[in-house]
Chains A and B, each alone.
Chain A
Amino acid sequence: MTDEHTHDFRHTHEHRRDSHGDTPPTRSSGVATVAASRRVATDGGQPRRRSETGVALELTDVTKTYGEAATAVENLSVSLREGELLVLVGPSGCGKSTTLRMIAGLEEPTSGDIRIDGESVLGLEPEARNTAMVFQNYALYPHMTARQNIGFGLRMTTSLSDEEVAAEVESAAETLDVTELLDATPDSMSGGQQQRVALGRAIVRDPSVFLLDEPLSNLDATLRARMRTEIQQLQRELGVTTVYVTHDQTEAMTMGDRVAVLSDGEIQQVAPPMNCYHEPANLFVAQFVGEPSMNTLAMRNGRDSFTGPVDYPVVDPLADAAHGVDRVTIGVRPEDISVEPEADDAETTLPARVDVTEPVGERSFVHATLDGGPSVTAAVEGSAGVRERDQVGLRLPPDRLHLFDTDSGEAIHHPDRESATAAFGPV
């Protein structure tokens, strides 16, 4: 898949691998790194060159099965550059949380390899993998104050003195702006506050890899939007390689350097978010990414026209792409459909009847049923200008159509990105 991608924000902090190089990874050097990284973070940071390979986390053919019947993850391969944020997105039960737990060492893959900083971590205890994880329900230790929660990992795994732990905790708390909460217990905090403390518990350990498991799902919408930005900023300031699991495509589209779309334990596409949107690898990605999702029409490839519940002419640029494929699925984004007040004679305009219109502010969604059966959704600027039960024409511009091989689901044609209507973003 396409994953050429430039990082324009790389304020990678003090080189994290220093402590793993010539000197043994004593904790004191770790502390220095943490402190240094925070200083860099607050100073704005100097752009730094990545390590030679630049690969911080690599999963190779990772498979996880439970018993004989259930396969949670199948042959999953993906690698993350240092400082990259990869969003694992997919419907529930697609194996994304299992993947995260395998990286953390909470579960072992049935087969395949997981490498962190170039070294296989299979069989290592979670603490030895130097990952940190944030959970959907925060999983703060209920009987401990925020201070104890954040410091617990340091106390368990290092020989830091009480003063040193306290200093680390204070520093992490400052980064996350939870200093006033340090002596409170989780049950007296709001969800957002608990989330910050949970993030503090993760960053205080100066992890190589940051694992976030649906961290915003339990927050209300306003807070979620704010925390989304904050987590992004935090991740960029600290420059920690991060795997972010979510089922929310807004988070997937806005947060990730790249998005890995998962379905049934298999990766469908790994690409920068806009690529997933504009050039979905297959029907699943096409329909999963984008809101409202892409309209699809399953057709048969006739000589001059695609036939099915409705007919659509085989014109350029579709003719070449569809050549030799018998069963094709036409995909069209709602914002690429224009709603004409009445059906004209053009073959690319399909007669339809409006079912419902949904004004959502600066644009409106028009849900309509094509003459011939299938329902489609169009997104138009401003108010819809049509009403329920109106007969309209839906224009599907040939240069805006995606084509998929119906049998394999694979994409066979994408429209030029340049022809996209500038007025509409994907989300």
Chain B
Amino acid sequence: MTNNEPQSDGGTPVETDTIRQEQPTSRLRRLAETITAPATVDAAVYVLYAVAVVFFVFPALWVVSASLRPEGELFSYPFRLLPSEISLTAYQQVIDAGVATWLVNSTLVTILGVGGILLVSVPAAYAFSRFEFRGRRGLLGIVLLFQMISPVIIIVPLYTVMSTLGLLRTRAGLVLLYVGIQTPFSIWLLKGYFDTVPMELDYAARIDGCNRLQTLRYVLLRPVAPGIAVVGIFNTVLTWSEFVLAFTVLRSESRLHTISIGVYKFQGQYGNDWRAIAAASVIGMLPLVLVFLGLQRYFVKGLVEGSLKG
């Protein structure tokens, strides 16, 4: 029944995706068509799409445009979206300031952080989904509770703890924080995916000679792969662009600074170098955009499945 649904990441995902996505749309459409003519509905839907796209993409486009303007044109009047001429001096300035180091640092922190989050949350979600143990529900509740606490609220005690442990100004400290803060949410999300995989798969694996970890590794990991992709991408985005914790933990240790701290550096006491900020932001955005473009198939699929079954 459900046993071949969560796993179809290899076979014919495109087909299932379209079917799943069309359902609500077509229902909405049918409802709308009972009121107005189909052509009108079509046009209205596209106008709506256009508005949404402009709304979300405009800030990004403005940043790109700002980064390419010659000095002094940023606040020119009348407002213009396209620069009068392309200038790369802002990019030169950002490169000179050490953007390469920031990118390397961000990459390292993100890989280690997301890797750590997955390393903890996948087995934890498996355990919460599959094992009956004393205090299971209570623990799940506590995990949920932690998820609700914003790290900013506890940043002062966090700082003290990190200081006591000697983890200030270290990459390890920052990675540990990311893992600690993002793991609860990831466990909950992944548990939903594990719950959709029929228990009989575990039984079959155990009869076939797998221990618990082998069951996870060889049998369950693939069916929950879309969930792992969602958790991975989601945490990549969060970790990559995270500023407050990075700034708090890394402090003045500039050789460890990440891209978000790098962007911040162009804010001055007496004025902001908007062109440099924009250029650094563009450079900071690019890796994520590329990653997302590469993986969006899994991301969308994972989200759709999660929303339907999780």
Contact = CB atoms under 8 A, between A and B. Distances in A.
Contact of B7 (A131, A137, A157, A187): A187
A142 B205 CA distance: 12
Task: Give chain A's interface residue range (CB within 8 Å of chain B).
Answer: 20 to 34
B203 A131 contact: no
Interface in B206-252: 206-211, 214, 218-219, 222-223
A106 B215 CA distance: 13
A139 B4 contact: no
Given A138-B3, A142-B7, A143-B223, A133 B204 contact: yes
Interface in A165-201: 185-188, 201
Contacts of B222: 141-143
Contact of A132 (B3, B7, B207): B207
Given A140-B3, A187-B4, A188-B11, A135 B208 contact: no
Interface in A104-127: 104-106, 125-127
A195 to B, nearest CB: 12
Contacts of A141: 201, 204-205, 218-219, 222
A153 interface: yes
B24 interface: no
Given A137-B200, A142-B6, A185-B10, A126 B206 contact: yes
A70 B51 CA distance: 58
Given A143-B223, A185-B10, A187-B8, A135 B204 contact: yes
A185 B200 contact: no
A142 B197 CA distance: 10
A138 B214 CA distance: 20
Interface string B174-214: 00000000000000000000000010110111111111001
Nearest to A207: B207
A143 B204 contact: no
A156 B209 contact: yes
B35 interface: no
Contacts of B1: 137, 218
B8 A135 contact: no
Contact of A156 (B7, B10, B210): B210
Nearest to B12: A187
A106 B206 contact: yes
B198 A139 contact: yes
A141 B200 CA distance: 10
Interface in B129-185: none
B207 A143 contact: no
Nearest to B198: A137
Nearest to A202: B207
Contacts of B210: 156
Contacts of B206: 105-106, 125-127
Given A156-B209, A156-B210, A135 B203 contact: yes
B208 A186 contact: no
A101 interface: yes
A284 interface: no
A125 B203 CA distance: 11
Interface string A12-25: 00000000000000
Nearest to B221: A143
Contacts of A143: 7, 9-10, 222-223
A153 B208 CA distance: 4
A298 B223 CA distance: 55
Nearest to B199: A139
A341 to B, nearest CB: 50
A185 B11 CA distance: 9
A135 B6 CA distance: 18
Interface string B23-59: 0000000000000000000000000000000000000
Given A140-B3, A185-B11, A127 B208 contact: yes
Contact of B207 (A127, A186, A188, A218): A127
B214 A186 contact: no
B200 A139 contact: yes
A106 B203 contact: yes
Interface in A206-226: 218
A153 B4 contact: no
A104 B3 contact: no
A139 B208 contact: no
Interface string A136-159: 111111110000000011001100
Contact of B3 (A106, A137, A153): A137
A135 B200 contact: yes
Which of A106, A140, A142, A143 has the largest number of chain B CB atoms within 10 A?
Answer: A142
A106 B208 CA distance: 12
Given A185-B10, A185-B11, A188-B11, A142 B3 contact: yes
B200 A142 contact: no
Given A131-B207, A138-B3, A139-B200, A187 B11 contact: yes
Interface in B56-73: none
A193 B62 CA distance: 57
Nearest to A133: B207
Contact of B209 (A140, A153, A218): A153
B203 A104 contact: yes
Contact of A104 (B11, B207, B223): B207
Interface in A71-85: none
A125 B3 CA distance: 25
A125 B206 CA distance: 8
A152 B198 contact: no
Given A104-B203, A139-B201, A187-B4, A157 B223 contact: no
B225 to A, nearest CB: 8
Contacts of A127: 206-209
A132 B203 CA distance: 10
Contacts of A101: 203
Nearest to B206: A126
A126 B207 contact: yes
A139 B204 contact: yes
Contacts of A136: 200
Contact of A152 (B4, B10, B208, B223): B208
Interface of B: 1-4, 6-11, 198, 200-201, 203-211, 214, 218-219, 222-223
15 contacts: A105-B207, A125-B211, A127-B208, A132-B207, A137-B3, A137-B200, A139-B198, A141-B204, A141-B219, A142-B8, A153-B208, A156-B209, A156-B210, A157-B209, A205-B208
